[in-house]
Structure 1
């Protein structure tokens, strides 16, 4: 897929505390598992609703 930064095949999950780390140097993914689980679940709900070309998920709420 071609994104704003060029071609990519996978996206590595990451989480940054922009308040204390605005340059996104420290991935705090493992420090906040509940936050990651919640945000991942919300993202999946949106994928199912509107679709996602990267994961090839067809949206259930897309008008045709």
Structure 2
């Protein structure tokens, strides 16, 4: 999909320097992937990861 965006030149240059990605389209794709990964991890962490009544999973070998 083609989209027109206005980007801060300083922000774009810094992102290019840090990532090593010089092509703007590729840089934006990488930025969107990073945002999605970060937010998905944040939402997963917010779930808490606790289930006190959960039974232990069976093991193939004794622990």
Same fold (TM over 0.5): no
Higher strand share: 1
Taking structure 2 as the reference length, what is the TM-score of the superposition? 0.40
Higher helix share: 2
Higher RCO by CA contacts (8 Å cutoff, separation 6 or greater): 1
Taking structure 1 as the reference length, what is the TM-score of the superposition? 0.40
